Amino acid sequence: MERKVCVVTGSSSGIGAATARLYAERGWNVVVNFSREAAPAEAVADECRALGADVLVQRCNVADDADCLALAAAVQARWGRCDVLVNNAGTTKFVHARKLDGLDAEDFQRIYAVNVVGAFQMTRALEPMLKLSPSGAVINVSSIAASTGMGSSIAYAASKGALNTLTMALARALGPAIRVNAIAPGLVETPWLQNGMGAERYAASVEGYKARAALAEIIQPEDVARTAWYLGVDATKTSGEVLAVDAAIKLMPV
Ligand SMILES: NC(=O)c1ccc[n+]([C@@H]2O[C@H](COP(=O)([O-])OP(=O)(O)OC[C@H]3O[C@@H](n4cnc5c(N)ncnc54)[C@H](OP(=O)(O)O)[C@@H]3O)[C@@H](O)[C@H]2O)c1
């Protein structure tokens, strides 16, 4: 049987890399995408190839519509199909919530350009192929920041709130051919927070998170990847939903 194709944006690291590996392991071909550094993407691609996948490595800044269209054209040329899109690429600025003057309009626009507009542009670019798939699905990687208002910055939390709304709007617009859902991870062990917070604050955050979460754990990239598989492949009657993968931290008082 012809292998299906999964495009994972921001898959040179963390959640995206784990998702690309999982789809490869389960018999799909994958696109590994990055915007800055090619070497980590090539390393993830090698892992996916070792799992049996045909892999396209594509530099694409999702904030740039021409890049998104070029990625879609490359997928069309390579396989002529796309079955699942995981809009995982994201960005932020680490600013304490009380420090309002630490954020300006440019910060909001840069963060929205990747986290919201990027997901929209990538979906629009791949829509023609997703529509032709017998099981087209889009998964947006959001965050619990969307519902708590907490996170690396107010601009980031607001962008993920917008991404949840985009998920609902696209689910309505693209059904019945394409399902659209989102995942809201809690604290995930990836370079994202480790680099953004510094080692000491990161370690304290991990301990604080474990102390508050009902499941007393932080999240691994593979936990999110398995949910991206569930929403992409198994959840055939679910669209427009946001599924938390947060070790149930929202059940506990802050
Ligand atoms: N880690 C957490 O605790 C956590 C929690 C909730 C939600 N999330 C969400 O999960 C997603 C992935 O985060 P992560 O923790 O796995 O981060 P990560 O390890 O830092 O990986 C981020 C990936 O996105 C790529 N990227 C960044 N900007 C891009 C752009 N404009 N276009 C295309 N690719 C881009 C990066 O590659 P380049 O640098 O080469 O571009 C990298 O591959 C993000 O949307 C984030 O908001 C993370």
DSSP string computed for 143-160: -THHHHS-SS-HHHHHHH
Given 112, 156, 202, 230, which residue is catalytic?
156
Asked, for residue 208, whether it belongs to a domain, the answer is: no
Asked, for residue 203, whether it belongs to a domain, the answer is: no
User: pLDDT tens-digit profile of 147-195?
Assistant: 999 999 999 999 999 999 999 999 999 999 999 999 999 999 999 999 9
The region that residue 62 occupies, defined by phi over 0 for left and psi between -120 and 50 for alpha, beta otherwise, is: alpha
Asked, for residue 57, whether it belongs to a domain, the answer is: yes
Q: What is the pLDDT of residue 61?
A: 98
Integer Cα distance of 112 and 118 in angstroms: 8
pLDDT at 254 over 70: no
SS3 236: coil
| Torsional sign, CA 201, 203, 204, 210 | positive
Which of 190, 219, 223, 227 to probe ligand 1 with, by most ligand atoms within 8 A of CB?
Answer: 190
CA of 7 to the centre of ligand 1 (A): 14
Total number of domains in the chain: 1
Which atom of ligand 1 is closest in space to residue 145's alpha carbon? 6
Asked, for residue 75, whether it belongs to a domain, the answer is: yes
Give the DSSP H/E element, type plus range, for residue 120.
helix 118-132
CA of 119 to the centre of ligand 1 (A): 12
Which of 187, 192, 197, 218 to probe ligand 1 with, by most ligand atoms within 8 A of CB?
Answer: 192
Asked, for residue 129, whether it belongs to a domain, the answer is: yes
Asked, for residue 196, whether it belongs to a domain, the answer is: no
Does the beta carbon of 187 lie inside 6 Å of ligand 1? yes
Q: What is the pLDDT of residue 244?
A: 98
Single-letter amino acid, residue 197? M
CATH number at residue 235: 3.40.50.720
Kindly indicate the confidence band of residue 250, based on its pLDDT and cuts at 50, 70 and 90.
Answer: confident
Is the model's pTM score more than 0.95? yes
Asked, for residue 232, whether it belongs to a domain, the answer is: yes
Alpha-carbon separation of residue 180 from 22, 39, 108, 147 (angstroms): 19, 31, 25, 19
Asked, for residue 210, whether it belongs to a domain, the answer is: no
pLDDT at 204 over 80: yes
Q: What does the block give as tokens for 196?
A: 């953004």
